[in-house]
């Protein structure tokens, strides 16, 4: 796939449920203390993307914007290197993601929850929005056993593995990339 432009995507995370798990910070706090020294959020300059995966995530949460305290929402800017910059497969344990493409084209996807592990993917253009709200996901099955399979190139780069090993793992989990 060819990416002609510099790619920028914005991701909004909203808290999906009120179920708390041990170890997670509480999404809501009893007291909201106003502060007078907000940190510069800086959404306006391109980020360095010459790292191994070719992407750079800039977080904008309550640590940068104090006014988000108790609101259960945060934002991230993601810069992708042209021609194959990647944000590795991940989940957000405390949020539902809404992704908006600001510049360029972006190949996105997610794997549905157990038992299907169906891979839903699409190329997005500026202004396109993508929403994900998964249930329970077993990581290995979702990553290596999705149907259809996630591309060898994406998984090899994300996990820093030889594509032969990715192919082997996909076979173990019932995927079938050649």
Binds ligand NAG (CB under 6 A): choice among 29, 51, 133, 176? 51
Q: How many contiguous H segments (helices) and E segments (strands) does the chain have?
A: 3, 7
Burial label, 23 (beta-carbon count in 10 A; 0-12, 13-18, 19+): exposed
Binding segment for ligand NAG (CB under 6 A), chosen from 5-13, 48-56, 70-78, 85-93, is 48-56
Binds ligand NAG (CB under 6 A): choice among 48, 93, 115, 136? 48
Binds ligand NAG (CB under 6 A): choice among 56, 74, 117, 146? 56
The verdict on whether residue 5 carries a ligand-binding annotation is no
Minimum CB separation of residue 30 from ligand NAG in Å reads: 35
- State the Cα–Cα distance between residues 64 and 57, nearest whole angstrom: 14
Minimum CB separation of residue 47 from ligand NAG in Å reads: 4
CA distances from 115 to 108, 111, 112, 128, 135 (A): 21, 11, 8, 28, 10
Rounded to a whole number of angstroms, the CA Rg of the chain reads 18
Binds ligand NAG (CB under 6 A): choice among 3, 47, 66, 151? 47
Which token pair is 45? 């300059």
The verdict on whether residue 92 carries a ligand-binding annotation is yes
Minimum CB separation of residue 161 from ligand NAG in Å reads: 20
β strands within the chain, DSSP E: 7-14, 55-60, 73-80, 96-103, 106-111, 119-124, 129-132
What is the CB-side half-sphere exposure of residue 148 using CA atoms within 13 A? 8
The verdict on whether residue 103 carries a ligand-binding annotation is no
**98 forms bridges with which residues in the sheet?**
12, 131
Minimum CB separation of residue 55 from ligand NAG in Å reads: 8
Residue 83 binds ligand NAG (CB under 6 A): no
The verdict on whether residue 90 carries a ligand-binding annotation is yes
Minimum CB separation of residue 6 from ligand NAG in Å reads: 13
Where on the chain is the footprint of ligand NAG (CB under 6 A)?
A: 47-48, 51, 56
């Amino acid at each position: 796939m060819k990416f002609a432009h510099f790619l920028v995507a914005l991701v909004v995370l909203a808290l999906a449920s009120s179920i708390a798990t041990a170890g997670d910070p509480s999404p809501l706090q009893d007291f909201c203390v106003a502060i007078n020294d907000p940190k510069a959020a800086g959404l306006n300059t391109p980020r360095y993307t010459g790292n191994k995966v070719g992407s750079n995530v800039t977080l904008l949460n309550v640590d940068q914007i104090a006014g988000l305290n108790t609101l259960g929402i945060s934002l991230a800017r993601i810069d992708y290197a042209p021609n194959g910059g990647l944000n590795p497969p991940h989940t957000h344990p405390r949020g539902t993601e809404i992704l908006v493409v600001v510049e360029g084209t972006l190949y996105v996807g997610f794997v549905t929850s157990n038992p299907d592990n169906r891979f839903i993917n699409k190329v997005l253009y500026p202004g396109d929005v993508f929403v994900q709200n998964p249930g329970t996901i077993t990581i290995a099955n979702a990553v290596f056993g999705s149907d259809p399979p996630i591309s060898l190139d994406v998984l090899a780069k994300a996990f820093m593995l030889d594509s032969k090993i990715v192919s082997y793992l996909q076979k173990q989990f019932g995927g079938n990339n050649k």
